[in-house]
Structure 1
Amino acid sequence: MSTPPDPGRHRPPELAEPLPPRAPEPGVPGAVRPESLRAATRRSTSEDPQFPAPPPAPAPPAAPRRRRWIAPVAGGVGILLAAGVLVLVRAGDSDAPEQTAGTTLSAGPSAGAVAAGPTGARSAAPTGVPCAYASADRGSGDSRLIATPAPRSTVSGRPTATIETNVGPIGVELYADKAPCTVNSFVHLSRDDFYSDTPCHRLTTDGLYVLQCGDPSGTGTGTPGYQFGEENLPTAQPGYPRGTLAMANAGPGTNGSQFFVVYQDSDIPPDYSVFGQVTSGLDLLDRVAAAGTTTGQPDGPPRLAVQITEIRVA
């Protein structure tokens, strides 16, 4: 990927909890993208660990830290692990989480994975649903300090939000009734300006059609310093139709701040929590997708740079 836009200001330390001890720098499996899966073929990055190019043959398991992203592979979308990066989506059969810019889709539970309320819950959930948020490595680059969300959901029903960007606003409806702990975290990060002045660091245009955002560092390794489990995993096909808003991850129980927006139906493994739907602004995503990536490859930073200025929750 190319150098991401200015990640923005850091959160004042007095508003956040103490920074947890950093883990040793490991090689990591490779936001929408916006990449955490149970089983998938891994791909290693050649030069840029943030956006590894999917190789024809599966690579050996990656090291500790992962990127979160979705990676296209032969016969479908596959999960990749990139050294030092979190991956978004995985679509394969072994632990091949996407480790490009956002969330790693690994195949198999990662250490410290946590459940966020009833995994796969799809029924209406009122406020007060218990949520488990465990501490996690903040990743590299711009690691903004922010407090952990309330241990019980504070939002219910179908609230709306506007993702303000440099290319225009994107309206979304949030599924607090189906993914209460995920929406609780997203609203918490939005209202505390965690997403303000951050780039959408990854675009995929072949097999997997998403724009991944939510990492202040723009590297695909960033987290808010905590992680939680999956909710509202899809059962229908395609699992991620156009307009879906879902979490990127680095494996089961590693959801953090990175998320992705689907601009074209994507048939990938149901390992990413669906927590909302785009209600306006899909035409903006179409423009970004049409411009392609800065590398000319089907997976990389968007050529038409997208910067989130703020996310406002109604």
Structure 2
Amino acid sequence: ICIRALSSSSMSVEVARSEADTGVVADRPIYNDDERCNVKLDTSMGDIEIELYWNEAPLTCKNFAGLARRQFYDNVPFHRVVRNFVIQGGDPTGTGRGGSSIWNAPFQDELNPALRHTGAGVISMANSGPNTNKSQFFITLAPTPWLDGKHSIFGRIKAGMKVVKRISLVEVDASDRPVDVLKIHRATCIPI
């Protein structure tokens, strides 16, 4: 594998060229996922800025920021809104069953006892059990202490709580899916 650096003002990107047994050469971007940032979500209801807890949840932050750098969250819906509980997104299928991590496999929980779901604006990973984190995440709308020790907290809302509040009030169906499509138009990394 030969790696060469490309210059970019918006992100650090390298291109790796590899040759398969077939002789085909493919270019694929390699991102600097260790570069710390916060993430801004440009949603259909306004902007939300997320402060990431890199010291407390480094793998989870690396995954979330890495997915944002790869435009993974662009045009992905918030597929679940439960008033006074959570707003959930990060599944490109919009079903609540999809998603992927930057490693293309589930990754381990980062359960820090110092971090708790104490109120609105906490950002955590959605999962289907221990060590099943991928791309789905949720924003709390109220204290949710029963989630402590089960979901990896990796950030908080830094700006845009009014947007979060507006999202929490949208009309939903019997399955807690927004009646009108509610999307993350774009997720971008903001250097810190």
TM-score per shorter chain, which class?
A: 0.7 to 0.9
- Which of 287, 290, 294 matches 2:169? 290
1:216 partnered with 2:92: yes
Find the residue that maps to 1:226 and give its secondary structure. Answer: coil
Find the residue that maps to 2:169 and give its secondary structure. Answer: helix
CA 1:180–1:293 in structure 2 vs 1: closer, same or farther (change >3 Å)?
Answer: same
Aligned pairs for 1:138-177 (under 5 A) are 154-156=34-36, 159-177=37-55
**Aligned-pair CA distance for 1:147:** 8.9
Relative contact order higher in (CA < 8 Å, ≥ 6 apart): 2
**Aligned-pair CA distance for 1:232:** 3.7
Q: Which runs of 5+ in 2 are unaligned?
A: 1-15, 17-27
CA 1:300–1:171 in structure 2 vs 1: closer, same or farther (change >3 Å)?
Answer: same
1:300 aligns to what? Answer: 176
The separation in 1 between residues aligned to 2:119 and 2:167, in whole angstroms, is: 18
Question: 1:308 is matched by which residue type in structure 2?
Answer: I
1:127 aligns to what? Answer: none
Q: Is the 8 A contact 2:38 2:65 kept in 1?
A: no
Question: 1:170 is matched by which residue type in structure 2?
Answer: I
Quote the sequence identity (%).
30
**Aligned-pair CA distance for 1:288:** 2.1
**Aligned-pair CA distance for 1:304:** 5.0
Q: Is the 8 A contact 2:73 2:186 kept in 1?
A: yes
CA 1:173–1:277 in structure 2 vs 1: closer, same or farther (change >3 Å)?
Answer: same
Q: Which runs of 5+ in 1 are unaligned?
A: 1-14, 16-145
Structure with the higher strand share, 1 or 2: 2
1:311 aligns to what? Answer: 187
The separation in 2 between residues aligned to 1:246 and 1:203, in whole angstroms, is: 15
Q: Deviations over 1:194-244 (max 9, x none)?
A: 1111100001125xx1000000000111121311011144457x6342110
1:40 aligns to what? Answer: none
- Which of 218, 243, 252 matches 2:130? 252
Q: Please tell me the root mean square deviation across aligned C-alpha atoms, in Å.
A: 2.5
Q: TM-score, normalised by structure 1?
A: 0.47
Structure with the higher helix share, 1 or 2: 2
Q: Is the 8 A contact 1:245 1:277 kept in 2?
A: yes
**Aligned-pair CA distance for 1:280:** 1.3
Q: TM-score, normalised by structure 2?
A: 0.74
The separation in 1 between residues aligned to 2:172 and 2:113, in whole angstroms, is: 28
Question: 2:164 is matched by which residue type in structure 1?
Answer: L
